[in-house]
Structures are given as C-alpha cells and as structure tokens.
Structure 1
Amino acid sequence: MFDHVKFGVSDYAASKAFFLKVLEPLGVTIAAEWPQTYGIELIGPTSKASLCLYQTEEKPAHLHLAFVAEKRQQVDAFYRAALEAGGKDNGAPGLRPRYHANYYAAFVIGPDGHNIEVVCHEPEA
C-alpha cells in the first residue's frame, strides 16, 4: 500500500529501541541508519515498504500504525514485547469481529503516544 512511512519522534534512542523490540516478532530489522536528524529505516523480511523514524523537536499529531502479522502468535509476541519495552496497553490481543471475523489484533501506545497495532487477518491455525 505504501513505499515508506516516515515520522518524527521526540526521543530517537527510546523510539528506535521500542520499535526494534516490538517489531522483532514480525522479522523487522534495520535496513539503513543515518544521523538521528535523518533517522533509521526499518523493513520486514518480505516487505518492500519501510518505516522510518527521525529525531525532531516538533510535536506532530499522534499516528495509528498497523503492521500485518502472518500468524496470531506474532500478534501475541508483539504485545508482550511492547509492554516489556515500555508500551502502554491500548487493547490486548484478541478478535475484533466488528472489523471482520478473523481480525485478530493488539494495540499499544508507543513512546510518543502513537497507537501501534499488529493485526493478523488469517483464521487460527
């Protein structure tokens, strides 16, 4: 759907550590890194799209970022990792049938107040 998403963060080191830990269950790694003011690019193992973070003093509006998981266990692992990394619960892993019958997701609030979601659209294996 997109090539990359880039947004500013108020604490680059904290956000970098947070996103690397919470997205590790999805296989996300560092594709490239530059000075903090230009930031870091994160990418999944089979994705061409990337997530980029950079240091800024600006206070942008909060984002809702949703990452896709292939298995529900990845959603559960994301949620545990996010809470361990300092994320705040915004919706424990579970089905969200109001979206569709197999919408299994978890939500956390990241270091800058962004709503971070991981969703699996597949039925339970």
Structure 2
Amino acid sequence: MRKLIAIVAAVLAIPVVQVGGTASAAAAPDFPPPARECSPSFRGILGGEAVAVFCDFGPTRFFRIVVDCESGYNRWREFGDGAATGFETSDAECRGGLLETARVGGYHVDWV
C-alpha cells in the first residue's frame, strides 16, 4: 500500500515540476541571450539604467560591453570599459537628461 501511495505521489509531482520550470522562463526580461559565457547584471541608477557584464570565456582575452540607450526619441550607444576575460566586469550606463530618464534598449559584447 505504501509503495502505491509513493508511486501516485511521484506521478502527480511530475507536472508540477514541469509547470514550475516554464513559469520562471516566462518571467525573464526581453533582452537577448548573453554572448559566449557572459552574464549581465542590470541596475537602476539616478536618471537611467546601467549594465555590468562578466565573461568567463571568449575568443579573446579582453572584452567590453556596448549598450544601446533610449530616452524618448533619442537613441545612442555607450561603450563600457575594457575588461579582462574571467577577471573583471565591463560597465556601461545610460543616463538621461535633466527631466527624462534613459533606459537600456539592448546590448552586445565586443571582443577586443
């Protein structure tokens, strides 16, 4: 009887685990997947947003982040500092003007 209850409980738990896995994927932001083995970190700053990227591996020893910034109808690019692969992060900030904030519209990693 105990084996039967354990089997029924295991069968009923399978769909719960699958549904839980798809719910977390749906909550991810709309940004493109990180390039190579890089992990981005987004944060809010005064008047905008900032992105920091850490890359474990890549085709070269150095990289930098390039961020597409948006504020109203204005669009521009900000370039992060050069960083060593596996050791440092490359940071870039999108700062708005006096009365408007800027946001990150997208990003990619430049391998230097």
Q: What TM-score range do you get, normalising by the shorter chain?
A: under 0.3
TM-score normalized by the length of structure 1: 0.24
Name the structure with the higher strand share.
2
Higher-Rg member (1/2): 2
TM-score normalized by the length of structure 2: 0.25
